[in-house]
Amino acid sequence: MDTHGPAAVTVQEEATYTVTVANETPTEARTVIVRVGIPANVRLASSQPSEGTAQMQQDQGLQRLVWTLDRVPGRAARQLTLVVIPQDNRPFDVPVDWTLMPVATVANITVRQPLLEVALTGPREVQFGETKVFTLVVSNPGTGDARNVAATLALGDDSADKLDIGTIPAGTNKSFEVEVTARQTGTLQIVAKATGEHGLKAEAAEQIVVRRAELQLQAAGPEEKFAGASGVYELKVANAGTAPAKNVVATVRLPHGVKYVGGLENAEQVAETLTWRVGDLAPGSDRVYRFTCQLTFDGDAAFKFATRADGGLEAAQEVVTKVEALADLKLSVNDPPGPAPVGEAVLYEIRITNRGTKVAEQVRVVAQFSDGIEPAAAEGANAEIVSGQVLFQPVARIAPNETVTLGVKAKADSAGNHVFRAEVTCSPDIRLVAEETTRFFGSGGSSTSKRPNAAPRVGTRSSAGGNPQKQ
């Protein structure tokens, strides 16, 4: 009796053994019964006798395959082929005996068991958005080859990519470098898993801290300003994150009609955009910048602030200043050089200048004279001349920085000091008064009949009133 087959098998893999019965004598052997013991941790997949029949039987708790041969001719041999599958990694024996001779053989079979282990090394702190390299080592400390091995590496909630490794022989390992990009912040778990045939698995996990910078802006400026005035604007750039903000740059886009005056060191202006470098910002730190601008046009002036840094960090904020334009009129009167002769026409000049930023509309002008002098003609605009007064038609518009000049010619009918007064009114709330005194000489009347600096007469169509004043 002989038993042939592999001395070592792998768990859950088939192994084939052959039991041979040989009759070495010339005499035929009859009714030969061969019993093959099947251990409890081994499953019999199939049995194929070359002759006779083979059936499973229980014998005192041991499974036996009973092979019955009616005859074995002299000098002849018969074979029984067995296919078995070990269920665990315990060694097992295959006892074989037969009835003719109390001889039994034992086959000592070694069972090999593959194992998997995973080790993971890499940085414990990572910046958000950075790609770092981790080393993954998958080893097989077992006695059998681990086949169809695959591994995955995942960070936080990110999906894991599969890495096909193949076969890892017993007692060996395979090492891989895997790039991982941090796309979440906080304390995350990085998990490495390996799997193989027949349910092999192993896992390793480590915690890493993902830090990220966070840019924040606080911009401030005046809510209201008059056109032509200057305003101070402030920008606070802060890093509210857990990592440094690298290469921070700040910008502000100026509204149309706004002129940058100064206040920012090393700021560059291209068209309507101011840009300056903030540099690096440590976590929890901030920097404050102030600058001055002149607002020249009315309307809502929107200042658009923004910052950016490495890693795609950005922040933005807008500040709106309401700019109101006003007309600012200045009145001046040029009287004729005196003294002037009585009865001769002299010219009084009225100059109105708009120093504001808004068009002055429907500007009304009235010229008035004291007793002893009467207007004779008006220049520069249509006017109505009445006793002691010239009522000009309203000037439709006076643009910013524009000057309108009106003239009044008058003749004195008596000697002495005579007063000329001009009054300008414009909506809303503009009222300007200017007056000059001219001395006249000659025989046209008594010089003592008029009191110096007498108040101008007020005609029925004049809007002037009250005491004379000069602005």
The pLDDT tens digits for 55-108 are 988 877 788 899 999 999 999 999 999 999 999 888 888 888 888 654 445 667
Q: Is there a domain that residue 452 lies in?
A: no
Domain span at 54: 2-112
Question: What's the mean per-residue pLDDT of the chain?
Answer: 87
Contact, 37 vs 95, CB < 8 A?
yes
**Domain check: are 206 and 229 in the same one?**
no
**Domain check: are 319 and 333 in the same one?**
no
**Domain check: are 122 and 207 in the same one?**
yes
User: What is the identity of the amino acid at 284?
Assistant: G
Pick the residue with more confidence: 310 or 454?
310
Least confident of 150-164, 337-351, 354-368: 150-164
Structure tokens at 431: 């009222």
Mean pLDDT: which of 16-30, 103-117, 322-336, 435-449 is highest? 16-30
> Facing residues of 346 across strands?
410
**Domain check: are 343 and 425 in the same one?**
yes
Residue 110: band (very low, low, confident or very high) from pLDDT cuts 50, 70, 90:
confident
Structure tokens at 459: 């005609």
**Domain check: are 136 and 63 in the same one?**
no
Q: Is there a domain that residue 14 lies in?
A: yes
Pick the residue with more confidence: 316 or 326?
316
Q: Is the pLDDT of residue 449 over 60?
A: no
Domain boundary among 112, 137, 158: 112
What's the DSSP call for residue 345? -
Domain boundary among 90, 112, 134: 112
Q: Is there a domain that residue 466 lies in?
A: no
| Structural domains in the chain (count) | 4
Contact, 331 vs 349, CB < 8 A?
no
**Domain check: are 121 and 202 in the same one?**
yes
Q: Is there a domain that residue 470 lies in?
A: no
Q: Is there a domain that residue 455 lies in?
A: no
**Domain check: are 337 and 436 in the same one?**
yes
Residue 297: band (very low, low, confident or very high) from pLDDT cuts 50, 70, 90:
confident
Report residue 61 CA to chain centroid gap: 74
Instruction: Specify the pLDDT at position 465.
Output: 37
Instruction: Specify the pLDDT at position 307.
Output: 96
Contact, 284 vs 303, CB < 8 A?
no
Pick the residue with more confidence: 447 or 265?
265
Instruction: Specify the pLDDT at position 113.
Output: 92
What's the DSSP call for residue 455? P
Per-residue buried b or exposed e for 256-265, using 16+ beta carbons within 10 Å of the residue's own CB? ebbebeeebe
CATH number (domain holding residue 292): 2.60.40.10
Q: Is there a domain that residue 371 lies in?
A: yes
pLDDT in tens, 320-355: 999 887 888 899 999 998 789 999 999 999 999 998
Q: Is there a domain that residue 286 lies in?
A: yes
Mean pLDDT: which of 147-161, 241-255, 321-335 is highest? 241-255
Least confident of 277-286, 315-324, 439-448: 439-448
Residue 16: band (very low, low, confident or very high) from pLDDT cuts 50, 70, 90:
very high
- The alpha-carbon radius of gyration of the chain (Å, integer) is 56
Q: Is the pLDDT of residue 383 over 50?
A: yes
Q: What percent of the chain has pLDDT over 90?
A: 57
**Domain check: are 207 and 272 in the same one?**
no
Overall pTM surpassing 0.75 (yes/no)? no
Place of tokens 């929890």: 284
- E strands, 60-199, in order: 62-72, 76-86, 92-98, 104-112, 117-121, 125-127, 131-139, 146-155, 161-168, 173-181, 186-196
Q: Is the pLDDT of residue 211 over 70?
A: yes
Domain boundary among 324, 351, 370: 324
Residue 443: band (very low, low, confident or very high) from pLDDT cuts 50, 70, 90:
low
Instruction: Specify the pLDDT at position 159.
Output: 66
Instruction: Specify the pLDDT at position 469.
Output: 37
Q: Is there a domain that residue 458 lies in?
A: no
Q: Is the pLDDT of residue 318 over 80?
A: yes
Q: Is the pLDDT of residue 450 over 80?
A: no
Q: Is 395 helix (H, G, I), strand (E, B) or coil?
A: strand
**Domain check: are 127 and 206 in the same one?**
yes
199 Cβ contact list (under 8 Å, min separation 6): none
**Domain check: are 234 and 182 in the same one?**
no
